[in-house]
Amino acid sequence: MNTDIALDKTNSRRVRHREMLRQSILDAARELFIAEGYENLSIRKVAERIEYSPTIIYHYFQDKSDLVYWLVAESFSSLLEKLSGIRAQTPDPLECLRKSGRAFADFALTFPNHYRAAFLQPIQPRGEREKARYLSPEAMGIMTFNYLRLLVADCIKQNKFREVDIDLTAKFLFAAVHGITTFLIVHPDFPWGDRDQIVDYVIDSAINSFTV
């Protein structure tokens, strides 16, 4: 019995150590990612930051692409949690749509490197398994789009929107918010004027094009 307890404790410590090391890798990668961007991030640099050999990192992540995938997933989970909270606390679907669009844009502009990795980096999946991961219901782009579909359906159900195609409308709204945030990130020196004003204008204009 005592041996079993000792083994359980040892296994628990090993699990905690693995979880802590994995989180340390993600934390170090995040710091480098924010500071240097996707192109300059490398497994070697992450290993140097946590003072482990690169081989250790490959025990947790297949390669740089896999590491960034989970890094972005971890970061975007907080955004999706916030979006879900907005929907739960905002009964008016139009207001909910506006707040959600604004929250999405704010996140993208606050964490531009994360946004670049999630939505602006060319995706070149290696094989069908990796391709399926990027298109799975748990992928960031798919989860964000499905959330938007729910909001559009809410607007139609409560007679705030005309009878429109849910998928096409969600894609249009997604493209509108994605478009302005991408321009602001990629071309920050363009004379946009008040950044908040133009983001709100794009969101309001996109939503108002479907209202009853």
Confirm if 154 and 81 have CB atoms less than 8 A apart: no
- Over residues 117-173, the pLDDT tens digits come to 777 765 555 566 666 666 676 677 788 889 999 999 999 999 999 999 999 999 999
- Over residues 63-97, the pLDDT tens digits come to 888 888 888 787 778 788 889 999 999 999 999 99
Residues 1-61, CATH architecture: Orthogonal Bundle (1.10)
- pLDDT tier, 113 (very low <50, low <70, confident <90, very high otherwise): confident
- In this predicted structure, what is the pLDDT of residue 7? 54
Question: How open is the CA angle 36-116-205, to the nearest 5 degrees?
Answer: 140
CA atoms within 13 A on the CB side of 63: 4
- In this predicted structure, what is the pLDDT of residue 40? 86
- In this predicted structure, what is the pLDDT of residue 15? 83
What would the two tokens of residue 33 be?
């990612």
pTM of the model: 0.76
Distance CA 137, CA 160 (A): 27
- In this predicted structure, what is the pLDDT of residue 202? 98
pLDDT greater at residue 192 or residue 73: 192
- In this predicted structure, what is the pLDDT of residue 157? 96
- In this predicted structure, what is the pLDDT of residue 149? 95
Confirm if 75 and 114 have CB atoms less than 8 A apart: yes
Residues 62-212, CATH architecture: Orthogonal Bundle (1.10)
- Over residues 18-61, the pLDDT tens digits come to 999 999 999 899 888 878 877 888 999 999 999 999 999 999 99
CB burial string 49-85: b at 16+ within 10 A, e below: eeebeeeebeebbeebbebbbebbbebbeebbeebee
Which burial class, exposed, middle or buried, applies to 20 when counting CB atoms under 10 A from its CB (0-12, 13-18, 19+)? Answer: exposed
- In this predicted structure, what is the pLDDT of residue 130? 62
- Domain chopping of the chain, boundaries: 1-61, 62-212
- In this predicted structure, what is the pLDDT of residue 34? 79
